[in-house]
């Protein structure tokens, strides 16, 4: 993320047209799908945890949708902040730009709605034959709701429904994208709404540098499908082998997408491989599956087990460092002049941004750790009715 933004903002002259810049831009197509994919996996973990506790389906869906709405609100607030800081030269239309935070929020809301729909329709017999949790058809906990056994128990029918629904949603979103960007554009909608569907903004045609629901939300549904598989009983029994199988499946998906793309079949009136093609979507999903295995191997056998990890630390405060670094790269407080640097100059700026954001992340973590006892005390005094101040 830092690399993509820094080189895009600061490389200038011949460096901007170099092979180095091309590979940097190519690598920049990966962070956004990864963010959305991980958001889907995190939703799967939340659903699994709440199901084990016997939480009703409606409450599960409401919790996930609320979290998505909060992230969407932060995305809108971020756009407002950028507009205020850039007052005088930023167009008002920037307030409605669909950035990655907006899309993550909308995606999580859609994931929550889908999970609620699947769970609320599941019968007691289909939901919990193993006794991990049970849902009645109205979405309330069944008689075995609080019988939370180990992960070896079975909720395979329920989890299979979630995996199937998420997979169908991912495929449907990727399949509809070329049409919604061209022949099926919802032109009857105000552009402020249509831009969430195809990224049209106010420019008359969909823009590939924005993050509309089609195709980007498809990555979140793909992540949800994988996440539910990983927390299922049979996957737990497989242990580390499930990650190897994930990587192998990912390679298979990549090669399948390349094979289909090489055929002369023409389904869509307009075919744009790099922006709307379902084949490119499938290739990126396959690479994400490979990356899941690589991440597991790195943490299980690699340097992820050795000492301090800057990447893990930044991951703990990812929203904060994303919010702040954008202002120092693209915003009014940019640390280097836009499009003016050589590769070496932009690389030095990248190093400064990386170290600064790491220091900010560590400061946030330390502050949170030091403030935890005080916050716990306030919560305790509030719950028992003690005075918060001593006169």
Is pLDDT larger for residue 382 or for residue 212?
Answer: 212
> What is d(CA 260, CA 257) in angstroms, rounded to the nearest whole number?
5
- Whether 244 and 293 have beta carbons less than 8 Å apart is answered as yes
Give the global pTM.
0.83
Asked if the structure places residue 339 within a domain, the reply is: yes
pLDDT at 304: 64
Positive or negative torsion for Cα 9, 13, 17, 22: negative
Rg (CA), the chain: 23
Q: Measured between alpha carbons, how far apart are the two ends of the chain, in Å?
A: 51
For residues 229 and 245, is the Cβ–Cβ distance under 8 A?
Answer: no
Q: What is the mean pLDDT of residues 242-268?
A: 93
Is 379's pLDDT higher than 70? no
- For range 231-260, the mean pLDDT: 93
Per-residue model confidence (pLDDT) at position 360: 94
Burial of 241 (0-12, 13-18, 19+ CB in 10 A): exposed
Distance CA 304, CA 290 (A): 17
Report if residue 298 sits inside a domain.
no
Cβ-defined contacts of 192-199 (< 8 Å, 24+) = 192/96, 195/96, 195/97, 195/98, 196/98, 196/102, 196/106, 199/98
Lowest mean pLDDT of 48-62, 105-119, 217-231, 371-385, name the range.
371-385
How many domains in the chain?
A: 1
pLDDT band for 388, please (50, 70, 90 cuts).
very low
- pLDDT given for residue 390 in this prediction: 35
Domain of 203 in residue numbering reads as 2-238+307-384
Helix axis angle, 31-52 to 213-231, nearest 10°: 40
Q: pLDDT of 63-121, one tens digit each? A: 999 999 999 999 999 899 888 888 878 889 999 999 999 999 999 999 999 999 999 88
Kindly give the residue spans of alpha helices, DSSP state H, lying in the chain: 2-10, 19-27, 31-52, 57-85, 100-121, 124-127, 156-180, 191-198, 213-231, 233-238, 241-262, 278-301, 310-316, 318-329, 343-384
In a domain, residue 390? The reply is no
**In this structure, is residue 44 part of a structural domain?**
yes
The pLDDT score that the predictor gives to residue 68 is: 97
pLDDT at 265: 82
Residue 267 lies in a domain: no
Instruction: With respect to residue 281, please indicate whether it lies within any of the assigned structural domains.
Output: no
pLDDT recorded at residue 144: 46
More confident residue, 101 or 25: 101
Band of residue 218 on the pLDDT scale cut at 50, 70, 90: very high
In this prediction, residue 369 carries a pLDDT of: 82
* φ and ψ of 141, to 5 deg: -65, 140
- pLDDT at position 137 is 47
What is the average pLDDT score of the chain?
Answer: 85
Mean pLDDT is lowest, of 132-141, 171-180, 197-206, for: 132-141
Report pLDDT for 220.
98
Q: What is the dihedral of CA 208, 212, 218, 219, to 10 degrees?
A: 70
């Amino acid at each position: 993320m830092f690399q993509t933004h820094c080189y895009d903002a600061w490389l200038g002259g011949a460096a901007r047209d170099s092979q180095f810049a091309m590979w940097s831009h190519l690598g920049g197509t990966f962070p956004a799908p990864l963010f959305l994919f991980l958001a889907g996996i995190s939703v799967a973990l939340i659903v699994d945890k709440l199901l084990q506790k016997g939480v009703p389906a409606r409450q599960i869906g409401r919790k996930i949708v609320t979290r998505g709405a909060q992230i969407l609100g932060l995305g809108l607030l971020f756009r407002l902040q950028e507009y205020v800081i850039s007052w005088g030269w930023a167009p008002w239309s920037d307030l409605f730009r669909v950035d990655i935070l907006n899309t993550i929020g909308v995606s999580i809301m859609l994931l929550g709605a889908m999970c609620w729909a699947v769970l609320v329709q599941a019968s007691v017999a289909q939901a919990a034959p193993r006794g991990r949790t049970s849902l009645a058809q109205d979405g309330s906990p069944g008689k075995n709701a609080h019988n939370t056994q180990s992960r070896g128990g079975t909720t395979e029918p329920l989890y299979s429904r979630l995996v199937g629904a998420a997979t169908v949603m991912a495929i449907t979103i990727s399949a509809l994208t070329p049409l919604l960007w061209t022949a099926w554009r919802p032109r009857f909608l105000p552009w402020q709404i249509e831009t969430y569907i195809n990224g049209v903004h106010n420019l008359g045609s969909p823009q590939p540098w924005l993050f509309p629901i089609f195709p980007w939300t498809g990555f979140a549904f793909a992540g949800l499908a994988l996440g539910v598989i990983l927390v299922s009983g049979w996957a737990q029994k497989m242990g580390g082998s499930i990650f190897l199988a994930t990587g192998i499946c990912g390679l298979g998906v990549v090669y399948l997408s390349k094979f289909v793309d090489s055929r002369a079949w023409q389904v869509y009136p307009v075919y744009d491989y790099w922006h709307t093609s379902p084949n490119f979507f499938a290739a990126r999903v396959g690479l994400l599956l490979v990356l899941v295995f690589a991440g597991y191997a790195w943490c299980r056998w690699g340097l992820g087990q050795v000492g301090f990890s800057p990447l893990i630390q930044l991951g703990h405060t990812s929203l904060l460092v994303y919010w702040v670094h954008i202002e120092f790269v693209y915003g009014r407080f940019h640390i280097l002049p836009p499009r003016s640097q050589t590769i070496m100059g932009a690389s030095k700026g990248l190093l400064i941004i990386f170290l600064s954001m790491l220091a900010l992340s560590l400061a946030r973590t330390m502050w949170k750790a030091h403030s935890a006892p005080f916050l716990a005390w306030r919560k305790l005094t509030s719950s028992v009715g003690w005075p918060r101040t001593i006169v």
